[in-house]
Structure 1
Amino acid sequence: MPTKPQSNPTNWLPLLLLAALLLLALLIAGSQFGLANDDPALVDSTPGQLALWVADQTTQPERRVESWLVWLTKPTAPGGVLSETAALGRARFILGLLPLAVAGLAGYATWVVWKRPKRGRETAVYLLLAYTLLLFNIPAHSQPAYTLVLVGIIGSLLAAFLAPGHVSPRLGFFVIIATILVGWELYKIVGNATGNVLPLTDFPWKLPHWQTVAEALLQPARRNGPQLLVRILAAASWVTWIEAFMGFVVGSLLGFGLGVLFAHTPLLERGLLPYAVASQTVPIIAIAP
């Protein structure tokens, strides 16, 4: 007869840790829902800055609007114009909703470790990634939320290490990325606490917070411009990838054609093969935009 899955006694530590992470996410959500419209923690957050840009774009003539986000916002705003107060209210809702989603994931991870321990570590890694996402949205001066996010990431790393089961190499890669991100933030905190004696901590632009990086990418490319910087960078990257792919295809076809030609024409092989080999020894320097 099938037996009901039971929790291993050794799973109590990750279970307690995941329960603590759930409460931690609820505390973060409560702190974000309680932010005032003029609070720098809301205004300087990634959703706050993006919402203010969208509000400004809704006041522009329709012919100047180029973002789908603005087009989606216009029908939901009175008269098609979103005020800054309403925009910050929406940003506050998003800032509170994100940690609530993390809390839900923490609750699910707790249930998985209890009922399906073989998937416990995998679910804990997803929780780690969710906490890491908060790091890109909550500014460093938003206290105590920012500190709680760092504690949540470290706790999620510990839970992923203690939880039963295993993860795929792909998820393991994201664990390494999350570790680097939180290590970056902790290094910056230690540097500031010790009078910036650590390398790269003397100026903020040398070692910026990850939320600052995310906020910069979601700023307009020019002041009050219709396009975000991330959109322009994505378009430029797409052109670079297309050109690289076309160069790879042309080079592959040319190499295949020369190979067939050399195989059927020994005279050309003896005459051109040395030049083909020599061309591979020339260093290639590429400068990407």
Structure 2
Amino acid sequence: MRTILLATTALLLTAAAPKPLTPPDLIAAAPASAWRAIPADDLLVLDLKSGTRIVIQLAPAFAPVHVANIRALARSRWWDGAAIYRVQDNYVAQWGHNDERKMPPGVVARPPAEYDRAVRGLAITPFPYRDAYAPAAGFAGGWPVAVRGARANLTHCYATVGVGRDLAPDTGTGGELYSIISGAPRALDRNIAIVGRVISGIEAMSSLPRGPAPMGFYKDRSSDTPIATTRLASDIPPAERPSFEVMDTASPTFARLVRLRANRHDAFYERPAGGVDLCNAPVPVRAKP
């Protein structure tokens, strides 16, 4: 009888045990107060001729001159007819015109090297785990940052968007852009201007055929992925424009999410890692409800 009672008690305890929380559970249950709307002027919308849409969140707080150039290029419809012409395996997808055509008015030809910025003016939430590339790391305004003394920089994580450039002193205008379609090539940090991240449609870029030429370039233009239009969301009629929200990285919900990513206890994970890489703690973004 005692054995039966013990077995019954164990079954009751098992049935009553709460399901371990997962990151998707936490994100889905996040309160409205944990989300911040992304301004329409910070959304760059690429519509491919295939009908696929890619949306990029711009980062003017970190590369203001390059972002101003990108907005000017979008408003002049400079990228209409451009293409994704380079897809390098485990690295980047790159797009633009891949030539030396003249920039439209309002574009700064030689922007400053906006590869990092002063910490002053940034509200940085510290990252509680070690970063392999900087003495400290954290999140500022929804963006992952590495911190070295009084300077901070955005980091090359999956879906990060940066500016293509030639050798220094060239810094790129913003006319040629790339997105990371691999793991985190953090060695690029502080060497190129990071201007944003893909928040919708990165799978369309990362699944493109790889270019066979060196560095992933296509050998002929027939292999390019053509771009129909590139616009700012603020220039799209309100009823048609995409709207997104980003999780507030200073919120208790995000702090809990980072800890949860480092300490998974749901069924698959027998041994929690006890830590997480900065790029493996991505900031959630969702289409605005």
Structure-2-length-normalised TM-score: 0.24
Between 1 and 2, higher relative CO (CA 8 Å, sep ≥ 6) is seen in: 2
Structure-1-length-normalised TM-score: 0.24
Structure richer in strand, relative to its length: 2
Structure richer in helix, relative to its length: 1
Larger radius of gyration: 1
